[in-house]
Amino acid sequence: MTDSSRQRVALALAINGRRHRVTIEPSTTLLDLLRDELGLFGTKKGCDMGACGACTVLVDGRRINACLALAVMQEGRDVQTIEGLAEGEALHPLQQAFVEHDALQCGYCTPGQIMSALGLIGEGRATDAAGIAEQMSGNLCRCGAHPNIVAAIAAYAGA
Amino acid sequence: MSAATLSPRHGAVSSSVRHDSALKHTTGEAIYLDDQAGPPGMLHAALVTSPVAHGRLKGIDAAAALAMPGVVAMITAADIPGVNDVAPVGKDEPALATDKVEYLGHPVAIVVAATRDRAVHAAEAVRLNIEELPPVLTIEAALANESVVWPVMEMKRGDWAAAIAGAPQRLTGQVKVGGQEHFYLEGQIALAIPGEDGDMRLVASTQHPTEVQHIVSRLLGLPYNAVTTEVRRLGGGFGGKESQASLVAGLAALAARKTAKPVKLRLDRATDMRVTGKRHDFLARYEVGFDDEGRIRGLDILLASRAGWSADHSPPVMTRALCHIDNAYYLPATRARGFCCKTNTQSNTAFRGFGGPQGAAAIEAVVEHIARHLGRDPLAVRQLNYYGDGGRDVTPYGQRVFDNLLPRVTQEMLASSDWTARRAAIDAFNASSPVVKRGLGFMPLKFGVSFNLPTLNQGGALVHIYADGSIRLNHGGTEMGQGLHTKVAQVVADVFKVDLDRIKITATTTAEVPNTSATAASTGSDLNGMAAFAAANTIKERLIGFAAAHFGAALDQVVFQDNQVRAGNHVLDFGELAHLAWFHRISLSATGFYRTPDISWDPQSMTGEPFYYFSYGAAVAEVAIDTLTGEHKVLRADLLQDCGRSLNPAIDLGQIEGAFVQGMGWVTCEELWWDAQGRLRTDGPSTYKIPGSRDVPPIFNVRILENSPNPRPTIYRSKAIGEPPLLLAIAVWSALRDAVASLGDHRVPVSLDAPATPERVLFACEDMKRRAALR
Ligand code: FES
Ligand code: FES
């Protein structure tokens, strides 16, 4: 990339209910915007190529890989990240379910798993454990915490 | 005396306390190395790597790169102030290539720039002048050239040649098991911060802070006391962040030294996969002599591993493979040789199990070969060969199997998995199902716990109690998701009989606990738990002595219980006692140290008692294969794992499940593939498939063996858990072979290498049909 292409552009979007105005390079991904520009480090970079799910966030309620989405395309949209779930000290019930089911080991995939599960539940597809396992397969967990992850999601979704 | 807290103590040993960071992981507040704004002035580094697998490095042209905006410096081998060597075991493993490049991905230079993007782009603009040489890319080619990174190892017992020659039956064969990419979700990363007097501080994602310290010292020409390594947590390690993390940290330190600025080096996924070593793939060739029932009389086996371009951890990995070539079986006369083959590929390294899985997989294939040759049930042949009494209890390396749980775990597993009924049901299913075949596999497990090299079996800890009764714990182990910090904190809480949340868990650092070993070989809680236990008890004894004198009580009348201390008739809060002790000038800080007793190893003769104890287990897996496509699925898995007296059953269950799934990936779907030029083509998650949630067996029964305290006095009689259950996944491989064998009425040996991808399963089916037809 040459420097002349690094013309910055303005962007307005909502993140966890708060409006943000930023100027960024057009090539900035949503993931880099969150992490590097806004200091929201809860969303992880596992592969930066759209294949591990560690960077999953919700945009207008739909789950996407933030590493594959350009930030500038989120103009006017509503982005939800892991930081937006708990209310003060009170965990979101899905976060609580992850804690209770030991649905994590190293924790690096956990924020992505939780956001992806919220998206899945929003899609109305978290109907049984087998379905959850199938629909969560885009979120890799190298520690192999899958059984507990699926159990936590099923418990929260009442599946 | 203050109001007593009467609620039961939280976080006792052997209870299922949550992972110390569970809450922070779910909120995203747990801080990994890349989740911090770096120190002011921090620069970013990127690697220039070899585009060819083998060649003579003639020149590096960085003119264009250095002219790019934001680029600060380039570092090559010539800039290294100390010794250009990152070898963990051997020597002459340069951090940066000097006159030759030995694999595609070999680091040649580091480019430092103001941002990571600029560093990466500038690194791409560096021109390397390389005269290409023909590469050696396979184990077979290396064996043919006798190209090895280490002298050939040989473990021998008895007259193996005569035993084989005199046996009623003989077989020869070959089997291959694949390597494995670690794919820790957090990639390799390190931050180097220069300090006063040339000091260097490293914050790194490493399983081995002390080795980072040593290697940075070596590269920079500094004494160890000038370098400090710190690590709070890793986003997964699995062995991939032992020596490989030292390379990354070493390169960051070189860049920081040259620029006199803090430098962060984070490898992106593809670079990480192209540059760093993986689990060794192995080739095993064997000749085995046995009786008509299948009892092994003699075994001659050759193990050859893909070491890659340098030794790295290949020699100890081979040692452990050879020490697990017996797995559960008594091998009366044996020769086992180990060749660490030098190839022009990544330098392979530690990976959960450290050669143990490869050794065990090889003997499992041999035992099944015998069984099918004889037309016998592999399970029966397995049991026939188990370690037992009457002299059948000594390993080929001379250690007695003193704590044999194999008969017990086998019996419990066969019962709980309903083996007999399912065996019959599967045979009936196969008889009426022409295309889809089912298979049932069994895996018995015996895994030796301790580093093979006795020196490494030492741990240290540092415990402080502050005057308010809060406790700070530091120890030599690293937290990578396995719950080590939680377990060690449980130990300290138990010594003082206080709640777990009174204990602050802190980042591992070489400044607090020096000369540590890697958190590896499953020894994390064995070593560090014992060290922390010792440290805490040192302080406790001081407190007892003080309280007895102060309150006029006998020593044995000072009792710690439920966050309180009773001294004779006086009861006070733990915090009150701490304050009182401080007031009366009692030292409230102590180090603790532990070295595993009664272990020995002679690397020349390859004999000794390298393992303090063995860990046992058993698994049954059921699979279905499509014989027309090779597609397959694990339908059910039952696991039984010995944890001794578990320090934390919830954490141990997570380790068992996770290790099994990872092992399943190793034997089924994870395939590393290099092209004819030596380029790793499986360098990202889209080409390299690790198991996901849909691959977990839909019926997955995982149990910890009950009532089996470690006969050795380990920490609270627990056993190590990190690696052993990974080997249980070999049951899946065994089940796949069983399904293929059904095509030949279980009388024709199956040739199915690992990973048993659909392609290999299909070929195995075709091969089986052909050979069955010939009979
Ligand atoms: S980091 Fe976005 S999918 Fe892996
Ligand atoms: S908890 Fe480590 S990757 Fe999922």
Check if B300 contacts A (Cβ < 8 Å).
no
Query: Which of the residues A27, A100, A105, A116 would you substitute to probe the B interface, choosing the one with the greatest number of B C-beta atoms within 10 Å?
Result: A105
- Residue B510 near residue B518 (C-beta atoms within 8 A): no
Closest Cα to atom 4 of ligand 2: A141
Q: Which residues lie closer than 8 Å to B440 by C-beta, 6 or more apart?
A: B419, B422, B423, B426, B620, B621, B622, B735, B738
Residues A14-30 have a mean pLDDT of 97
Contact across the interface for B28 and A102, Cβ inside 8 Å: no
B610 vs B600: CA distance, rounded Å: 5
Query: Which of the residues B29, B118, B184, B185 would you substitute to probe the A interface, choosing the one with the greatest number of A C-beta atoms within 10 Å?
Result: B185
A67 lines ligand 1 (CB under 6 A): yes
- Residue B84 near residue B96 (C-beta atoms within 8 A): yes
- Point out the residues of B that are catalytic: 723
Residue A48 to chain B, least CA–CA distance (Å): 7
Phi then psi for residue B506, to 5 deg, are -125, 165
Number of Cβ within a 10 Å radius of residue B195: 13
Residue B390 confidence (pLDDT): 85
- The answer on pLDDT for A103 being more than 60 is yes
A53 lines ligand 1 (CB under 6 A): yes
- Residue B359 near residue B729 (C-beta atoms within 8 A): no
Closest C-alpha to A111, from A58, A72, A148, A50: A58
CATH fold, domain B404-452+607-775, is Aldehyde Oxidoreductase; domain 4 (3.30.365)
Closest atom of ligand 2 to B236 CA is 2
Scan for tokens 């980072």, then name that residue: B212
Q: Give me B518's structure tokens.
A: 């890697």
A33 lines ligand 1 (CB under 6 A): no
Check if A101 contacts B (Cβ < 8 Å).
no
Closest atom of ligand 2 to A54 CA is 3
B308-320 confidence digits (pLDDT tens): 999 999 999 999 9
- The answer on pLDDT for B572 being more than 90 is yes
B7 vs B157: CA distance, rounded Å: 58
pLDDT tier for residue A6 given thresholds of 50, 70 and 90: low
Residues B534-555 have a mean pLDDT of 98
Contact across the interface for B37 and A136, Cβ inside 8 Å: no
Residue B67 confidence (pLDDT): 98
Give the three-state DSSP class for B466: coil
Closest atom of ligand 2 to A149 CA is 4
Residue B463 confidence (pLDDT): 98
Residues B92-110 have a mean pLDDT of 97
Q: Using CB atoms and an 8 Å cut-off, which of residues 15-34 of chain B contact chain A?
A: 18-19, 21-32, 34
Ligand 1 pocket test, pick from A36, A47, A81, A116 with the greatest ligand atom count within 8 Å of Cβ, gives A47
Q: Give me B643's structure tokens.
A: 């944890």
B469 vs B580: CA distance, rounded Å: 10
- The answer on pLDDT for B285 being more than 90 is yes
Q: Give me B240's structure tokens.
A: 């991939």
Number of helical H runs and strand E runs in chain B: 20, 29
Residues B292-319 have a mean pLDDT of 98
Burial of B275 (0-12, 13-18, 19+ CB in 10 A): buried
Residue A2 confidence (pLDDT): 43
B280 vs B284: CA distance, rounded Å: 13
Distance from Cα A138 to the centre of ligand 1, integer Å: 10
Contact across the interface for A49 and B685, Cβ inside 8 Å: yes
With CA atoms as reference, the chain B residue closest to A130 would be B698
B116 vs B45: CA distance, rounded Å: 7
Q: Give me A65's structure tokens.
A: 């890989």
CB-nearest partner of B185 from A3, A35, A54: A54
Q: What is the second-level CATH architecture of the domain B22-30+458-595?
A: 2-Layer Sandwich (3.30)
pLDDT tier for residue B2 given thresholds of 50, 70 and 90: very low
Check if B67 contacts A (Cβ < 8 Å).
no
Q: Which residues lie closer than 8 Å to B706 by C-beta, 6 or more apart?
A: none
Q: Which residues of B touch A96 (CB under 8 A)?
A: 26
Q: What's chain B's average pLDDT?
A: 96
Q: Give me B478's structure tokens.
A: 């690293």
Contact across the interface for A107 and B480, Cβ inside 8 Å: no
Q: Using CB atoms and an 8 Å cut-off, which of residues 160-189 of chain B contact chain A?
A: 182-187
Residues B250-275 have a mean pLDDT of 98
Residue B383 host element (H or E): helix B378-385
Cα A110-A111-A117 angle, rounded to 5 deg: 85
Query: Which of the residues A24, A108, A115, A149 would you substitute to probe the B interface, choosing the one with the greatest number of B C-beta atoms within 10 Å?
Result: A108
Residues B532-547 have a mean pLDDT of 98
Distance from Cα A23 to the centre of ligand 1, integer Å: 23
Strand spans (E) along B122-233: 127-132, 153-157, 169-177, 189-194, 200-204, 227-231
Residue B660 host element (H or E): helix B649-667
* Sign of the dihedral defined by the CA atoms of residues B726, B728, B732, B733, in that order: positive
Q: Which residues of A touch B117 (CB under 8 A)?
A: 1
Residue B4 confidence (pLDDT): 34
Residue A102 to chain B, least CA–CA distance (Å): 7
Contact across the interface for A52 and B185, Cβ inside 8 Å: yes
Check if B268 contacts A (Cβ < 8 Å).
yes
B716-743 confidence digits (pLDDT tens): 999 999 999 999 999 999 999 999 999 9
Q: How far is CA B225 from CA B83, B218, B511, B514, B768, in A?
A: 17, 12, 9, 10, 62
Q: What is the ipTM of this complex?
A: 0.96
A109 lines ligand 2 (CB under 6 A): yes
pLDDT tier for residue B1 given thresholds of 50, 70 and 90: very low
Q: Just give the CATH number of A93-157.
A: 1.10.150.120
Scan for tokens 């930023």, then name that residue: A22
Residue B38 to chain A, least CA–CA distance (Å): 11
CB-nearest partner of A109 from B23, B27, B185: B185
A80 vs A122: CA distance, rounded Å: 13
Closest C-alpha to B478, from B756, B214, B164, B240: B240
- The answer on pLDDT for B6 being more than 50 is no
Return residue ranges of chain B for CATH 3.30.365.10: 22-30+458-595, 404-452+607-775
Give the ligand whose atoms come closest to the C-alpha of residue B690. 2
Q: Which residues lie closer than 8 Å to A151 by C-beta, 6 or more apart?
A: A101, A103, A129
Strand spans (E) along B403-502: 436-449, 458-465, 471-475
The three-state (H, E, C) secondary structure of B193-220, written as one string: EECHHHCEEEEECCCCHHHHHHHHHHHH
- The answer on pLDDT for A1 being more than 60 is no
Query: Which of the residues B188, B657, B693, B695 would you substitute to probe the A interface, choosing the one with the greatest number of A C-beta atoms within 10 Å?
Result: B693
With CA atoms as reference, the chain A residue closest to B658 would be A144
Scan for tokens 């006029």, then name that residue: B552
- Residue B2 near residue B573 (C-beta atoms within 8 A): yes
Q: Which residues of A touch B269 (CB under 8 A)?
A: 46-49
B528 vs B398: CA distance, rounded Å: 28
Give the ligand whose atoms come closest to the C-alpha of residue B480. 2
CB-nearest partner of A51 from B21, B684, B695: B684
CATH fold, domain A4-84, is Ubiquitin-like (UB roll) (3.10.20)
Check if B233 contacts A (Cβ < 8 Å).
yes
- The answer on pLDDT for B9 being more than 90 is no
- The answer on pLDDT for B479 being more than 80 is yes
Give the three-state DSSP class for B175: strand
With CA atoms as reference, the chain A residue closest to B267 would be A47
* Sign of the dihedral defined by the CA atoms of residues B229, B233, B234, B235, in that order: negative
- pLDDT cut 70: percent of chain B above it: 99
Domain-wise residue ranges, chain A: 4-84, 93-157
B11-63 confidence digits (pLDDT tens): 888 899 999 999 999 999 999 999 988 999 999 999 999 999 999 999 999 99
Distance from Cα B65 to the centre of ligand 2, integer Å: 37
Distance from Cα A31 to the centre of ligand 2, integer Å: 19
Count CB pairs under 8 A between chains A and B: 174
Check if B699 contacts A (Cβ < 8 Å).
no
Closest Cα to atom 3 of ligand 1: A50
Distance from Cα A27 to the centre of ligand 1, integer Å: 16
Model confidence pTM above 0.90 = yes
- Residue A42 near residue B29 (C-beta atoms within 8 A): yes
Residue B681 confidence (pLDDT): 98
Number of Cβ within a 10 Å radius of residue B350: 32
Q: Give me B371's structure tokens.
A: 């069984």
